[in-house]
């Protein structure tokens, strides 16, 4: 579930069911490197306002970046964008984090071969009082060729997903959600997932909360394994599902446990999600060995790949 607002969820069961009640083994440990490394407290960039008083002129701001001093970046509002939406966009954590990424060690602007000249803010979707989605176009010029590189950005920020594996009577099952995904025009079988609601970078806590809301079971923090932490440090311990157009970065987590067969039966086909928010979710339980060729979900396929490689290398806790 990629939810847009605070959660008032119709859970799968009458109340969340702690998996500890099913005699799960205490064999896992939690790792927090991803949450710590992606801690997203940032200092707002200095903006110099040049707001127009006439409706015929676009709203503009000018910003200065440490990597290109003396070359201010013009930030413009597309026609139809209100003053409040424009201000919210340039002050949002989504936009500030994108600017920060440009100047990180492997950022686009880090080696001085490219320059950012202009940003056009095209659209804003509010989730309550905060920006949930931000659409903009950035003009980034390659100094060697003088050409622009593709710069259309759909910003939605970090998110988490959990691969839940439950062993029962010798068979390992994966627990997934089946829900309507309007952008694809399809109903998609996928891992439970959710966006971070703030700048605190609490990937582990968000993962636990999303499983409770979408599946109806409560996981313990100490039983979560951070699959993203097995990646090379050069990746920033991040996974980008669609880097050609979206800034979304995923934290991938794993949960393993043992349950009675009646729990598997109870989970399969149960309806959950928050109906008043348009969340029409069904829980699906799939034998793990069949998961890789029964889901089109990139989150699931990435989690499987890292899980299998980590298992092969002996990196998983026993």
Is the predicted pLDDT of residue 1 greater than 60, yes or no?
no
**What is the predicted pLDDT for the residue at 271?**
86
CB contact at 8 A, 1 and 273? yes
The Cα–Cα gap between 92 and 89 comes to: 5
Ordered DSSP codes for 130-156: EEEEEEEEEEEEETTT-PEEP-EEEE-
Residue 111 CB partners (closer than 8 Å, separation 6+): none
**Distances in whole angstroms, Cα of residue 265 to Cα of each of 165, 188, 260, 261, 283:** 15, 21, 9, 6, 11
DSSP-derived 3-state class of residue 167: strand
**What is the predicted pLDDT for the residue at 189?**
96
DSSP-derived 3-state class of residue 10: strand
Which tokens belong to 99? 């600017």
Is the predicted pLDDT of residue 53 greater than 60, yes or no?
no
The Cα–Cα gap between 70 and 90 comes to: 20
- Kindly report, residue by residue over 90-149, the tens digit of the pLDDT: 999 999 999 999 999 899 999 999 999 999 999 999 988 889 999 999 999 999 999 999
- SS3 track for 36-101: HHCCCCCCCCCEEEECCCCCCCCCEEEECCHHHCCCCEEEEECCCCCHHHHHHHHHCHHHHHHHHH
**What is the predicted pLDDT for the residue at 42?**
38
pLDDT band at 208 (very low <50, low <70, confident <90, very high): confident
The Cα–Cα gap between 45 and 63 comes to: 7
**What is the predicted pLDDT for the residue at 9?**
33
The Cα–Cα gap between 131 and 126 comes to: 4
**Distances in whole angstroms, Cα of residue 4 to Cα of each of 194, 197, 279:** 9, 9, 10
> What percent of the chain is modeled with pLDDT above 70?
79
Residues 26-44: what's their mean pLDDT? 35
Instruction: Between 235 and 44, name the one with better pLDDT.
Output: 235
Half-sphere exposure of 267 (CA within 13 A, CB side): 29
Please tell me what DSSP assigns to residue 14: S
**What is the predicted pLDDT for the residue at 144?**
96
**What is the predicted pLDDT for the residue at 276?**
67
Please give the domain boundaries of the chain with CATH numbers for all domains: 60-155 (no CATH), 158-313 (3.90.79.10)
Strands 193-195 and 217-218: what pairing? unpaired
Selection from 55, 91, 61 nearest residue 76 by Cα: 61
The Cα–Cα gap between 248 and 269 comes to: 29
Instruction: Between 273 and 187, name the one with better pLDDT.
Output: 187
Is the predicted pLDDT of residue 288 greater than 70, yes or no?
yes
**What is the predicted pLDDT for the residue at 296?**
96
pTM of the model: 0.78
The helix, strand and coil proportions of the chain, stated in percent and rounded to the nearest 5, come to 25, 30, 40
Which tokens belong to 60? 């503009």
**What is the predicted pLDDT for the residue at 198?**
59
């Amino acid at each position: 579930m990629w939810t847009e607002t605070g959660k008032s969820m119709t859970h799968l069961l009458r109340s969340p069911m702690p998996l500890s009640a099913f005699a799960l083994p205490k064999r896992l440990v939690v790792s927090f490197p991803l949450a710590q490394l992606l801690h997203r407290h940032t200092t707002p960039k200095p903006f110099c306002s040049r707001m127009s008083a006439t409706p015929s002129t676009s709203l503009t701001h000018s910003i200065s970046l440490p990597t290109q001093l003396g070359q201010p970046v013009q930030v413009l509002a597309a026609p139809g964008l209100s003053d409040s939406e424009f201000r919210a966009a340039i002050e949002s954590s989504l936009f500030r984090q994108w600017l920060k990424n440009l100047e990180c060690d492997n950022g686009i602007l880090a080696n001085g071969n490219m320059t950012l000249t202009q940003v056009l803010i095209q659209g804003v979707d509010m989730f309550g009082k905060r920006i949930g989605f931000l659409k903009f176009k950035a003009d980034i010029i390659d100094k060697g060729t003088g050409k622009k590189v593709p710069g259309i950005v759909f910003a939605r920020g970090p998110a988490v997903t959990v691969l839940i594996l439950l062993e029962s009577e010798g068979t390992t099952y994966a627990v997934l959600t089946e829900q309507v995904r309007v952008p694809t025009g399809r109903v998609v079988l996928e891992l439970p997932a959710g966006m971070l609601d703030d700048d605190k970078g609490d990937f582990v806590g968000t993962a636990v909360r999303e499983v409770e809301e979408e599946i109806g079971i409560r996981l313990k923090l100490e039983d979560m394994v951070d699959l993203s932490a097995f990646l090379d440090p050069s990746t920033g311990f991040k996974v980008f599902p669609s880097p050609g157009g979206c800034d979304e970065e995923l934290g991938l987590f794993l949960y393993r446990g043992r349950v009675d067969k009646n729990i598997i039966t109870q989970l399969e086909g149960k309806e959950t999600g928050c109906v008043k928010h348009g969340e029409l979710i069904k829980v699906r339980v799939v034998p793990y060995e069949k998961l890789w060729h029964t889901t089109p979900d990139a989150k699931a396929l990435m989690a499987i790949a890292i899980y299998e490689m980590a298992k092969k290398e002996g990196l998983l806790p026993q």
